[in-house]
Amino acid sequence: MADWIGGACLLPLHLQATLDLLRTNATDGTCQLSQSDLARARGVARCTLHRHIAELEALGYLTIQRRPGRPSIYRLTSKGQRAGGGTGWLATSRVVQRLHRLLNPTRGRQPSTPGSMEEPDSLTPDRPTQTVGREDILATLQENVARGQHTLLVGPLGIGKSHLLRHFVRVHGNRGAREQGGAEVPGRAEFTPVPFDRLKAGALLPSTHAQNAPRPIYLEHVSPIKPALLTLAERLHQDGRLQVEGIEADYMVWEDVRKKVAPLRVNQLAELVITCLKDQGYILILDHLERVTPTMLPHLDALMDVTVVIAATDELKPSAQRLWWAFEQVKIPPLTREQARELLWQVADAKRVAQPQLFETHVLQQAGGNPLAVITMAGKARTAELSAREIRSLQHGAGTRYVPLTPALMLIGALIVAARFVALGLNDRDLYVLAGLGYALFFFLRYFIYRID
């Protein structure tokens, strides 16, 4: 866990940062802060900090006096008081840091586990990270969250519901709480210990939020319900708010906690998650709610009783009508032509298009104001140069207008049947034969009409 260079012990950077934090908040070599407070100051999950402290104890940098029901007491040994010095010679020596990374290329990085929560972002490098023409909808979401109103985004596929939900999480989410297992994040600023008295006064680290800040949790799928509940339990565990009867969840990594909670029935798991979510300031962001089933409705109702929910759906299923009544429904309209044009040139590269005006006109006509259709076709202008012929060949189903033929066919069939009865009443043999031929033709064509895509 530690390396020796020139007779000096070289701690990993994450252990050095934790040791510096303990030293900064220690009085006469003793720190009595709780692990929740230390984890908040460190900017990592509580289970991650617990693992760091256990490693420091095993290396002889500190001793722990455990007190049931009260915060433990951490006493720095003479070795722990000497190591690092203040903010740490290791943290200020770039040469030694680089040497340490060469010696330990994988240290400080945690492999992601199946089912772990990542920052929701379905955008590729070819897609814009901002919204276009949706400022009023984002303002509505913000207002509804402030007054505790559930909100449901309704619109067809590709209209931008998922993008709006993820944009809301990016703007209002706590990035520090979503770091998986406290893994080192590329590009993150170096850790500087902050005494907890300053932390309570408002000297927060960049990766933390005020206690009253909203904490969004994004779930891409709510069906099946049990994996969704386990994802919520994992997030609660990361934040140190998962309380499981019979185990000390705060002192365990998620993999071990999952082994304890996964065998629970759905009702028991839902009750556990709902109890831990209550009055904690979380916002549930639920995508693809059109997949909800009647058996899931009681659990979703219970979640909506303790948290504010922002959701999205392609359609309003009649079987879930009771659920839809609890939401303020916001229908997402197609983009206007000006908004679609702005989105188009955010994605497309005009230098790769032979005729930009033709490209713009064709894409806007095919897309019909659907953002996903605009992005899909515009993205082709980033990967290859488009000639005029290739531009005209671009197609997307979002801009296709479909005419319903069912009413027309029913009317034609009714007229043919009526004509036969009129012919019988008038004793008109010619009309009767003509109506019979039309009836036979109708049944013959029906076979092919049913097979038209």
- Fill in the amino acid letter for 283: I
Strand-strand pairing, 73-76 and 30-31: antiparallel
Residue 8 is given by DSSP the state E
Q: Which two tokens stand for residue 201?
A: 């006064």
Candidates 364, 322, 358, 323; CA nearest to 341 is 364
Check residue 136 and give its pLDDT. 92
d(CA 197, CA 126): 45
Q: What is the DSSP string of 115-163?
A: T---------TTS-SS-SS-HHHHHHHHHHHHTT--EEEE--TTSSHHH
d(CA 189, CA 177): 16
Check residue 400 and give its pLDDT. 55
d(CA 165, CA 219): 10
Check residue 451 and give its pLDDT. 56
User: Could you read off the pLDDT tens digit of each residue along the chain, which spans 453 residues?
Assistant: 454 444 445 677 778 888 888 888 888 888 888 888 888 777 777 778 888 888 888 888 889 888 877 888 888 888 877 765 444 333 333 334 444 444 444 433 333 333 334 444 443 434 555 678 888 999 999 999 989 999 999 999 889 899 999 988 888 764 433 333 333 333 333 334 444 444 444 333 333 344 455 688 999 989 889 999 999 999 898 888 888 888 877 778 888 889 999 999 999 999 999 999 988 888 999 999 999 999 999 999 999 999 999 999 999 999 899 999 999 999 999 999 899 888 888 888 777 777 888 888 888 888 888 888 888 888 777 767 777 777 777 776 655 555 566 777 778 888 888 888 888 888 888 888 888 888 888 878 776 666 554
Number of neighbouring beta carbons within 10 Å of residue 265: 9
Handedness of CA 258, 263, 269, 275 (dihedral sign): negative
- Fill in the amino acid letter for 404: P
Check residue 140 and give its pLDDT. 92
Q: 422: which residues sit within 8 A by CB, 6+ positions away?
A: 428, 431
Q: 224: which residues sit within 8 A by CB, 6+ positions away?
A: none
Q: What is the dihedral of CA 235, 183, 21, 238, to 10 degrees?
A: 10
Exposed, middle or buried: residue 429 (CB in 10 Å: 0-12, 13-18, 19+)? exposed
Strand-strand pairing, 73-76 and 62-65: antiparallel
Q: Which two tokens stand for residue 124?
A: 């590729």
**The overall pTM is greater than 0.95:** no
